[in-house]
Amino acid sequence: MKRFFLFLILGAIFISINPQETKAQTVEDDIYTKENIPAKKPMPYVHLREADVMWTKKTWQMIDCRKKMNHPLYFPLKKMDDRKSLIQLIVHGIDKEGLTVYSDDLFDNLITRDEAYAELGYKSDTQRIQQPDGSYKKEVIPGEIKYEEIKKYLIKEQWYFDKKYSQLKVRVVGICPIREYIDEDTGDKRKSQAFWIYYPEARNLFANWEVFNRHNDAQRVSFDDFFQQRRFDSFIVQESNVYQNRLIRDYTTGINALLEARRIRNEIFQLEHDLWEY
């Protein structure tokens, strides 16, 4: 009996000296593995011959993320689960996928990653940090990209009528994040075009990330599908014209600017309607 208690005490001492290691288990937030969107490839464009293009026009449209229909492009403000906002995905593409960044919508002037980050509010700071020996050393404090300040997107697209299929179609050419922020020096509200990305280059990236579906988490579409299927709300701010492609706001304002945008949109769809005979 004494020997039993002796072994019991020794066992307790051994356990206390060598506690069992706790191993973190692999946690899957979903009950199944998502393979559709992550492995998806963008649907290739239909081959287009110049002879088949009967009519074409370039337009620039503004997507306001404050509208309910466009919320999936703005939220989440921080990455959560398998979700990213559009600007977070673009930054991921620039940082990890080598996505090319341009300074204008002609796509002929490249800018660096650091320049693109600076346009998104990223600003590092240098501070003097006291060391244990009493001396001071300068250290760079990294900044943060202000995703919440990207509230609008300007998209450049081209409408065309394909006489081979007798259809009016549109292709997105480029996307530009619009940053709205408060100037630290003057306290005034400011708005700026951050940079442009060439949409055909970004399609592979957009096709592999989901857009949130408020009705069904199992039936989400990719960012590429979101744009290809025109699931956003927008209004025209510019069209190709003889006056150096001037903006609508350059020659009219207020309610007249909205009426002008509506006139341009109706003109595009009226063109297709007039080609048919009833």
Per residue in 26-60, pLDDT tens?
677 778 888 889 889 999 999 999 999 999 999 99
Q: Which residue has the higher pLDDT, 80 or 57?
A: 57
CA angle in degrees (0–180, nearest 5) for 38-42-43: 140
pLDDT at 6: 56
Mean per-residue pLDDT for 18-31?
63
Distance of CA 146 to CAs 64, 85, 191, Å? Answer: 17, 12, 14
Residues 80-98 as b or e (16 or more Cβ within 10 Å = b)? eeebbbbbbbbbebbeeee
- Using only C-alpha atoms, what is the Rg of the chain? 27
Q: Cis omega (within 30 of 0) on the bond before 76? A: yes
Structure confidence at residue 108 as a pLDDT band (50, 70, 90): very high
Beta strands in 18-104 (DSSP E): 53-64
pLDDT at 222: 96
Share of the chain above pLDDT 90, in %: 69
Question: pLDDT tens digits for 161-214?
Answer: 999 998 999 999 999 999 999 988 888 999 999 999 999 999 999 999 999 999
Backbone angles phi, psi at 231, to 5 degrees: -90, 25
The predicted pLDDT at position 139 comes to 73
Per the prediction, the chain carries an average pLDDT of: 89
The whole-angstrom separation of Cα 261 and Cα 270 is 14
The domains of the chain are located at 48-274
Instruction: Check residue 141 and give its pLDDT.
Output: 72
The answer to whether 174 and 203 have CB atoms below 8 angstroms apart is: no
CA count, 13 A, side-chain hemisphere, 81 = 12
Residues ≥6 apart with Cβ < 8 Å to 230: 170
277 pLDDT tier (thresholds 50, 70, 90)? low
pLDDT for the residue numbered 9: 64
Positive or negative, the CA dihedral 32, 38, 39, 45 is positive
Q: Is the CB of residue 126 less than 8 Å from the CB of residue 150? A: no
Q: Is the pLDDT of residue 261 over 90?
A: yes
| pLDDT at residue 131 is higher than 60 | yes
pLDDT single digits (tens) 243-253: 999 999 999 99
Nearest to 208 by CA among 73, 86, 39, 32: 39
Global confidence as pTM? 0.86
